[in-house]
Structure 1
Amino acid sequence: MTEHVDVLIIGAGVSGIGAAHRLRTQFPDRTFLMLEAQEARGGTWWTHQYPGARSDSDLFTYGYRHKPWRGKSIAAGGAIMEYLDEVIDEDGFADRIRYHHRVTALSWSSGENRWTADVERTDTGERLQVTATFLWMCQGYYNHDDPYTPEWPGTERFEGTIVHTQAFPADLDYEGKKVLVIGSGATAATVVPAMARSASHVTMLQRSPSYWFPSPTTHELAAMLEPLDLPDEWTHEILRRQYITQYDWLASASRDTPAEAHEFLMETIKPLLPEGTDVERHFTPSYRPWQQRIVIVPDGDFFESMRDGTVSVVTDTISEFTEKGVQISSGEVLEADVIVTATGFNLAVLGDIPFTVDGEAVDFSQRVTWRGLMISGVPNMAYAFGYFRHSWTLRVDLVNDVVERIFGRMAERGASVVEPQLRPGDEDMPLLPWVAEDNFNAGYVMRGRDKMFRQGDRDPWTHMHEHDHERAVLPEADLDDGLTYR
């Protein structure tokens, strides 16, 4: 049987749940379904099961605009899942979510003005179809099934256990054992101090340093506001604005005065490091601040573990794996019982789902984004994409605002289809990468950049702006500029 809905949402993470909230509250007469390949809601927060999994953004901005966050600024994955559950329960759309539903193909028919989703039930193997008038892609940009692991010689020789953080077994026993974590990003910074609580010692092996920032789990402003017994909505809005202001400054300083931002970040962590730490070697990056993600360290727990001797940092490259551990280029062998590869992930362009429009395959690497939320030549489809330098959800809320306005414009015009199309004079516009290397050059971005959609050199075909720009521009975006209705 084929089921038809007005709007089909792909993904039941923070983006998909936010989209469903908008539909339920602003368009209650529209039918919708949310298809999720995993066995539960949460997206990243469901798949990240490694020790200590937590946000690396504050929850006052990572949480939705409409839903006050009541906990600490930095929260564990379980608390974030509870927050998402509250949204689902309050809006009453739990019955609109179908788990174990993996979309294998999406096709648009102009004759019928509808999308058809081919779906496989991951729990039963059953195949079915869902059709929809509008498609809302909220699947994120991770390939959850295929995390990134470099090819190292000799891994088969290692006599211990090797696990990737994206596939961390719940029953892994590392108590009293030597653990080696390969990587230096947000995941490594999270898993290292968490595992150090029961391991005999944890070594973090990094090829090159990252920028770090010790952020309190409870903002000092929150502590000041607590005795005032303010309504949750007030506290949420005050702290939300405070965090936005802080991250606006850091993002703009990193862009405009990188030396000043570098000095600020370095001077912030130096007092927290053990005496004698080689700061230049282990904690001074080769790139400017925010050209890759800044590692957030709640209450400086990583540095505390370094000071108490349960964690050490080694900066070097891997020559090969041995029976007892990893030999690095210096010749030293880092012995371990358990090796954790916190080496990141691979990008997935719109879930790596094959798209066709009227029977023709869509090559997204040759298509252009419309303001970072629609794709040229792809009708009735919006996608959610958040920020790298601010909380993901800050942009998701702005994207949802624009989609809401587009639905309104379609209703005003009596249109059933909206499609981004290049304007006269745009056809020869250069196709630029979706993100410039001098803007953001994290490994996963560079590895997958060629398969992602493109951007142009002019509005509205651009992407990767900062929040301080988009919060003014997106609400005023001209819905007739680059969009056609029929």
Structure 2
Amino acid sequence: MTEPSATYDVVVVGAGLSGIGVARRLSRQRPDLRYVVLEARAATGGTWDLFRYPGVRADSDMVTLGYADRPWREPVMLAPAAEILRYVRDASAAGGVDEHVRLNHRVTAISWSGSDARWSVDVERTDTGQRLQLTSRWVFAAAGYYRYDTGYTPRFDGLDRFGGTVVHPQRWPDDLDVTDRRVVVIGSGATAITLVPALAERAALVTMVQRTPTYVLPVAGEDKLVGRFERVLGPERGYAAARRFKVGTQAALWRFCRRHPRTARRLIRRINVARLPAGFDVDTHFDPPYDPWDQRMCIAADGDFFAAIREGSVQLVTDSVTRFTERGLLLTSGRELDADVVVTATGLVMQPFGGFPIAVDDTPVTLPEHVVYKGFMLDGVPNFGFAIGYTNASWTLKVDLVADHFTRLVGYLRDHGDDACVPVRPAGLRVRPLLELGAGYVRRAQDALPRQGDVDPWRMTMRYRDDVAMLHDAPVLDDSLRLLRARSRAGQDAS
């Protein structure tokens, strides 16, 4: 049990895919460091334990979503949540992380003291209400980028009049049975594309209502590429080569779409037409008003979304919801949809760094006033790291690079007798939004996020190759990072 007086080298906030990844790096590379992982919920696994809606799975292949040093050995590449959760927990146990995890420990605030060069970390036990305070040299926020306690649902008029069931995917009830019921899913993002075909297996009819279409690509759920590489190069080298190949393929697809959006649109449309019934209105339902990768691409495992449309168990409606009625929904076009169950797959509520307040020497940190450094620190905030993965590739690719660089940086300061480091923003640095993605949940949160600069190391790059050069190949120190000593210690040294 964590004691109120406990002092650590690192406090990791969050025991999901990112937090476990950072902790595994600390255990493996710097076993001399004392760390703890604080998890607000009663279980590890983060997203993969939280979401319980039908069909929930990864939309990235597990070779790149998994940890680089722990090969994914299951045949399914777009793995269901239960298999990902088992993988994360097995990796945690094998990496010696479990003994460092404290469940039901919610971080409520952190405050930096320059005098002591320490963070005070306020913690509340979510199971008992007990309040604790820990101290640590470093804090690493790995709690994801969205609120776990609530999803985003826009205001719908007439919701109280509806006689059926309304549910958000983030709060899926265990006892909800859709067998032979009419289900309407509002939304067209990754969750909806995954959820709709799974619901269609039991429901009488599933209707997906989208204000605007999205790009959807069918991807094979199983992949024999890893096996082929391993047969030629052996298990270890073959797996590493397959992983590099997949990383390169993802990057090439993204670059092609960004450089040649018109061609990409035509190719995606051609793929969609081949998967849809003859005469289907592709231009209405699969022609987004934005270019590929202005928003994250949606993935249909083995083309299941298109198969459900072909079979007639799913219908698409491109329209807006005016209000709920007693029997269902009234759309802007005047069309009425009858429903027994309405699923509001309308997105997430972004919450950077776990949502807890941060203060440096009693001055509150206002995130939009700060700029990211190397994609994992903030200017003017000492000894604080965080994890934000890629929006155009597997999340873990970025987190794994950050975890390695962070661990080496913490170790360097420890080995050289320095207490702290802080990124210092250069004068005249031009800034822009942190995440240049058109998704609704990102747009709604831009004013609450830190910014990025226009030159390295102040850019939030979404290119794996660039991050390898900056986070893996380059030294942990550069001209933008200032080393510090505790003021109390500096005074003693001066005397």
TM-score in terms of structure 1 length: 0.95
Q: Does 1:474 align with 2:471?
A: yes
Q: Which amino acid aligns with 1:352?
A: G
After TM superposition, which residue ranges in structure 1, 4 or more long, deviate above 6 angstroms? Answer: none
Which residue of the other structure, out of 261, 272, 275, is the alignment partner of 1:258? 261
Cross-structure match for 1:485: 483
Q: State whether structure 2 residue 284 is matched by structure 1 residue 286.
A: no
Alpha-carbon distance in 2 for matches of 1:340, 1:202: 10
Letter in 2 for 1:319: T
Distance 1:266 1:441 in 2: 20
What is the CA–CA distance in structure 1 between the aligned matches of 2:103 and 2:333, rounded to whole Å? 49
Residue equivalent to 1:40: 43
1:193–1:301 Cα contact (<8 Å) kept: yes
Q: TM-score, normalised on structure 2?
A: 0.94
Aligned ranges 1:24-423 → 2 under 5 Å = 24-71=27-74, 72-222=76-226, 224=228, 228=231, 232-422=235-425
* Cα distance in 1, alignment partners of residues 300 and 177 from structure 2: 25
* Aligned-residue CA RMSD (Å): 1.6
The alpha-carbon deviation at position 232 of structure 1 amounts to 4.3
Contact 1:207 1:317 in 2 (8 A): yes
Q: Secondary structure, in 3 states, of the residue corresponding to 1:286? A: coil
| Partners of 1:24 and 1:220 in 2: CA distance | 32
User: What displacement does 1:123 show?
Assistant: 1.3
* Cα deviation 1:106-128 (Å, max 9, x = unaligned): 11111111111111111111111
Distance 1:369 1:301 in 2: 39
Distance apart, 1:317 and its partner CA: 0.5
Unaligned 5+ segments in structure 1 are none
- 2-side partners of 1:241 and 1:429: how far apart? 34
Corresponding pairs, count: 479
| Equivalent residue number for residue 433 of structure 2 | 433
Q: Tell me the distance in 2 between the aligned counterparts of 1:328 and 1:152.
A: 12
Q: Which residue of 1 aligns with 2:451?
A: 454
Change in CA separation of 1:31 and 1:433 when aligned onto 2, cut-off 3 Å = same
Q: Which stretch shifts more, 210-219 or 467-476?
A: 467-476
Contact (CA 8 Å) 1:292, 1:441: kept in 2 or not? yes
Residues 1:444 and 2:441 are matched in the alignment: yes
Match of 2:20 in 1: 17
> Equivalents in 2 of 1:117, 1:6: separation in Å?
12
Pick aligned residue for 1:4 from 4, 7, 20? 7
Gaps of 5+ in 2: 485-495
CA contact (8 A) 1:429 1:456 kept: yes
Cα distance, 1:314 vs. partner?
A: 0.6
> What is the distance in 2 between the residues matched to 1:97 and 1:348?
22
Q: In 2, Cα distance between the equivalents of 1:8 and 1:406?
A: 15
Which amino acid is the alignment partner of residue 165 of structure 1?
P
Residues 68 and 232 in structure 1, CA contact (< 8 A), matched pair in contact too: no
Please state whether the residue corresponding to 1:176 is helix, strand or coil. Answer: coil
Tell me: CA distance 1:251–1:484, structure 2 relative to 1, closer, same or farther (3 Å): same
- Whole-Å separation in 2 of the counterparts to 1:245 and 1:97: 34
- Cα deviation code 1:86-143 (max 9, x no counterpart): 1111112212111111111111111111111111111111111121111111111011
1:215/1:368 Cα in 2 relative to 1: closer, same or farther (>3 Å)? same
Paired residue secondary structure (2:253): helix
